[in-house]
Amino acid sequence: MKNKDVVLSGIRATGSLHLGNYLGAMKFFAQLSQDGTKDCFFFIANLHTLTTKTDPEDIKRDLKEIVLDYVSIGIDPNVATIFAQSSVPETCELNWLLGCLASMGDLERMPHFKDKKDKKEAKREMVNAGLLTYPVLMAADILGPQANLVPVGEDQYPHVELTRELARRFNTIYGETFPVPDLLSGEAIRVPGLDGTEKMGKSDYNTIDLSDSSDVVRKKMAKAMTDPSRKKRSDPGNPSVCNVYALHTLISSGEELKEVLDGCKVAGIGCVDCKNIIAKNITNILMPIQQKRAELAAKGPDLPLEILHEGGKRARRTISVTVNEVKDKMGVPSY
């Protein structure tokens, strides 16, 4: 058994990243990689992206953007391994091998699959097989580098549970091979959307992008939904039903947070001022990230590909050892 923790997480390459990705997951990834006690793998799940996207140019562009985002939020590519899923063909081999241990019924019962299937069928679109086997590829992602800690959001818990099941099943049939990975919910938090919905990122109207300028942040916040029953400045508000306040609790602190909370309840503060405070605090988070990104951009357009190339080699070296062992144990070595 390994003595060093191995952390792995991935993000699907679909569009640019937003404050919800940052506060909900990536900030935590950066912290995990910075404490020096863990081997960290952070990858871009561009093969998973193919289950929902078909434009090759889009997929390539998003991939590079995410690499720069990863680095600008504080993941050092010399410390953590940043790579593209598609750089490691061994993961696809492992996907097949694990697929032969996965139960069709389990896959069909995955909430993510059922949801996607229903939506596709409602639009009379094809339900591709990749959507069904999505969690098997995820298990291959996790078990390939023998990760024992997986930081993911709530929506991914069933997938990690299936991964655990496959690891146990493999170990039972073929002998102790994989650590059964644990969820690392850590500080995973849900970041509410600006339009009053419960999650940032569902649509363009409800997100703050990591690249938004202070002006854009202010304008987006100005349009954000507040407590709908607070119609006039003189009406007291109810922070517990206001997403702007929910954002405050994630971002603001101390006296400022208390002033917003108490002020809102007695109409001591207006929504305009309340939103200006949060806009300022959001900009304070985004500024260093954007600065770092500008520095990276100044190093030229090849940087993301260089990072992926190095990371891909490193990831492949680790993962191919596992996959060779698995193939041997299953009686299908490369001859």
Cα of 203 vs its chain's centroid, Å: 16
Give yes or no: 202 in active site. Answer: yes
Task: Give the closest residue to 179 by CA, choosing from 30, 10, 39.
Answer: 39
Q: Examine the residue annotation and report whether 258 is marked as an active-site residue of this protein.
A: no
Q: Which of 12, 60, 120, 190 binds ligand TRP (CB under 6 A)?
A: 12
The DSSP string of 61-124 is HHHHHHHHHHHHTT--TTTSEEEEGGG-HHHHHHHHHHHTTS-HHHHHT-HHHHHHHHHHHHTT
Name the region of 173 (left: φ>0; alpha: ψ -120 to 50; beta: rest). alpha
Query: Can you tell me which residue has the tokens 């339009």?
Result: 195
DSSP string, 1-39: --SSEEEEEEE---S--BHHHIIIIIHHHHHHHHTSSEE
Q: Quick one: 99 or 263, whose CB is closer to ligand SF4?
A: 263
Closest CA to 247 of 205, 290, 194, 284: 194
Token pair for 230: 């607070």
- 38 interacts with ligand TRP by CB under 6 A: no
Among 138, 244, 250, 308, binds ligand TRP (CB under 6 A): 138
* Interface with ligand TRP (CB under 6 A), residue from 49, 156, 226, 283: 156
- H/E element holding 261? helix 254-265
30 binds, among ligand TRP, ligand SF4, none (CB under 5 to 8 A by kind): none
Please pick, from the candidates 44, 131, 264, 315, the single residue that binds ligand SF4 as defined by CB under 6 A.
264
Name the active-site residue from 2, 202, 219, 299. 202
Question: Considering CB distances under 5 to 8 angstroms, the limit depending on partner class, which of ligand SF4, ligand TRP, none binds residue 227?
Answer: ligand SF4
Name the residue among 86, 26, 33 with its Cα closest to residue 56.
Answer: 86
Q: Which is nearer to ligand SF4, 101 or 257 (CB)?
A: 257
Q: Reply yes or no on whether 219 is catalytic.
A: no
- Give the residue, chosen from 9, 72, 226, 252, that forms a contact with ligand SF4 under the rule CB under 6 A: 226
Nearest by Cα to 112 from 139, 85, 140, 135? 135
Q: Which one among 98, 194, 271, 286 touches ligand SF4, defined by CB under 6 A?
A: 271
* Torsion-angle region of 320 (φ positive above 0: left; ψ -120 to 50: alpha; else: beta): alpha
Q: Compute the least distance from the CB of residue 187 to ligand SF4, in Å.
A: 23
Question: Binding string to ligand SF4 for residues 171 to 210, with x set by CB under 6 A, is what?
Answer: ----------------------------------------
Q: Residue from 13, 142, 191, 323 that binds ligand TRP (CB under 6 A)?
A: 142
**Pairing between strand 182-183 and 149-150?**
parallel
Catalytic one of 120, 199, 280, 292: 199
d(CA 35, CA 15): 29
Residue 142's binding partner among ligand SF4, ligand TRP, none (Cβ under 5 to 8 angstroms by kind) is: ligand TRP
| Residues labelled as active-site residues | 116, 199, 202
What are the residues binding ligand SF4 (CB under 6 A)? 226-227, 230, 237, 239, 242, 244-245, 260, 264, 269, 271, 274-275
Residues near ligand TRP (CB under 6 A) are 8-12, 45, 48, 138, 141-142, 150, 152, 156
